[in-house]
């Protein structure tokens, strides 16, 4: 760790087994951390998804690990502990960033895709999310008179004033960040170029993988949404799939291309129709099980490693969104409906033109000879030289 102290790897986030608490955070002795459970139950009453509950549980486990390391109870936490957490996150290595030997260095840029390789540490967005979770945890307990008198996570009054009474159609007013908050870089959508997409698709070695990628690239569905599609969710006549939307958790239709439906029919013909209300995407080895997100991600990773690329499952949604947004026959509102974005500004991000999209135009620009400066004929050459110099 290059001399940096690591947090104790104690405690865990476990499945709760009940609908009121799908995930529970336990300490080193396996005992439930009751303050965290109260907060997570309150989140579920606010209609968050179980996966959000799991994500918040991991952030709070990291916070409690820090408090255990410095021997401070959660009721006595101050800004000093928050600063310690931020300092550790900015210097520690993220265990999720372990890479295989021979890969590109952390923080570099993949020369084939032009896409940055994830840094070895925690991303600024991860740090900001952890601070927001801890702030919400203490705000919840402060409402009921528990915990410290002041929230240990600083907040920005300027941000609250900028967001208050603002119309959704108005641009956001600039505001100062709260103390200890990192700068969050703007997200840039990454679309797979057509040539690299053809190479990637050609490496799919079975009907299931070809059907899966074809459905991703034509529907624009999120990775977890498409993996939950059941046999009854396929509308062959309308060319649609019904997915459980990530935001609303409502079952909504998404379009798919005729080519994707053909690949899907070939896969179902080869694998057989699943029995009961189970996802259609199944494992191919051993006992038939639903294809998980991690298994689907590994399918894409193996193909990308052969090409020396670093494309991800979410890049397939970016690619579909970019193709739709740049189609002159489709309006931005229509693309927003297909992608199920809550705000049109999110859809507008896919209309931005990157430098890699201008390679051919820049090559043509540099190949054109420089045009000599020409002046209107009614001006005398001596007058032009007197005003602009002899070089003109």
Same domain, 152 and 245: no
- The 10 Å CB-count burial string (b at 16+, else e) for 319-352 is bbbbbbbeeeeeeeeebbebbbbeeeeebebbee
Q: Is the pLDDT of residue 44 over 60?
A: yes
- Tens of pLDDT, residue by residue over 288-306, are 899 999 999 999 999 999 9
Report the domain count for the chain.
2
Same domain, 157 and 303: no
Structural domain containing residue 223: 194-351
Same domain, 211 and 155: no
Averaged pLDDT, 310-324: 93
- Which among 38, 175, 246, 282 is annotated as catalytic? 246
Q: Respond yes or no: is residue 31 known to be catalytic.
A: no
Same domain, 26 and 149: yes
- Which among 317, 318, 323, 340 is annotated as catalytic? 317
Q: Is the pLDDT of residue 16 over 70?
A: yes
Same domain, 60 and 203: no
Q: Which of 142, 163, 184 is the last residue of a domain?
A: 163
3-state secondary structure of 262: helix
3: confidence class by pLDDT, cuts 50, 70, 90: very low
Q: Is the pLDDT of residue 172 over 70?
A: no
φ/ψ region of 211 (left if φ > 0, alpha if ψ in -120 to 50, else beta) reads alpha
pTM of the predicted protein model: 0.81
Helix (H) or strand (E) holding 254: strand 251-255
Residue 2 has a pLDDT of 46
Q: Respond yes or no: is residue 222 known to be catalytic.
A: yes
- Which among 97, 129, 314, 326 is annotated as catalytic? 314
Same domain, 198 and 136: no
Domain with residue 226: its CATH number is: 1.10.443.10
Same domain, 147 and 226: no
Q: Respond yes or no: is residue 38 known to be catalytic.
A: no
| CA gyration radius, the chain | 27
Q: Is the pLDDT of residue 91 over 80?
A: yes
- Which among 141, 190, 210, 222 is annotated as catalytic? 222
Residue 1 has a pLDDT of 39
Q: Respond yes or no: is residue 157 known to be catalytic.
A: no
Same domain, 233 and 108: no
Percentage with pLDDT > 90 across the chain: 58
Q: Respond yes or no: is residue 314 known to be catalytic.
A: yes
Same domain, 48 and 124: yes
């Amino acid at each position: 760790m290059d001399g940096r102290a690591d947090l104790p790897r104690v405690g865990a986030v476990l499945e709760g087994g009940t609908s009121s608490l799908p995930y529970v955070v336990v300490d080193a002795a396996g005992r439930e951390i009751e303050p965290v459970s109260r907060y997570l139950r309150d989140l579920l009453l606010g209609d968050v998804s179980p996966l959000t509950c799991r994500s918040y549980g991991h952030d709070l486990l990291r916070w409690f690990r820090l408090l255990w390391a410095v021997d401070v109870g959660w009721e006595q936490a101050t800004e000093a502990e928050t600063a310690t957490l931020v300092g550790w996150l900015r210097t520690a290595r993220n265990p999720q960033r372990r890479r295989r030997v021979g890969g590109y260095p952390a923080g570099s840029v993949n020369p084939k895709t032009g896409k940055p390789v994830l840094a070895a540490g925690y991303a600024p967005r991860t740090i900001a999310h952890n601070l927001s979770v801890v702030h919400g945890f203490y705000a919840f307990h402060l409402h009921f008179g528990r915990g410290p008198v002041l929230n240990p996570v600083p907040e920005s009054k300027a941000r609250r004033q900028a967001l208050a009474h603002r119309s959704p159609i108005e641009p956001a007013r600039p505001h100062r960040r709260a103390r200890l908050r990192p700068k969050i870089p703007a997200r840039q959508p990454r679309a797979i170029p057509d040539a690299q997409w053809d190479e990637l698709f050609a490496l799919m070695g079975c009907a299931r993988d070809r059907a899966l990628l074809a459905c991703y690239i034509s529907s624009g569905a999120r990775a977890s949404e498409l993996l939950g599609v059941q046999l009854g969710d396929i509308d062959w006549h309308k060319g649609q799939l019904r997915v459980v939307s990530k935001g609303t958790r409502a079952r909504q239709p998404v379009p798919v291309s005729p080519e994707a439906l053909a690949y899907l029919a070939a896969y179902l013909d080869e694998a057989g129709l699943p029995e009961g209300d189970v996802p259609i995407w199944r494992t191919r080895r051993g006992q038939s099980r639903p294809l998980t997100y991690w298994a689907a991600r590994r399918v894409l990773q193996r193909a990308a490693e052969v090409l020396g690329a670093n494309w991800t499952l979410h890049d397939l949604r970016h690619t579909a969104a970019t193709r739709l947004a740049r189609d002159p026959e489709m309006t931005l509102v229509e693309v927003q409906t297909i992608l199920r974005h809550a705000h049109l500004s999110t859809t507008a991000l896919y209309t931005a033109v990157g430098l890699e999209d201008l390679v051919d135009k820049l090559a043509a620009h540099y190949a054109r000879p420089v045009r000599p400066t020409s002046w209107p004929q009614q001006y005398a050459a001596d007058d032009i030289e007197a005003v602009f110099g002899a070089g003109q």
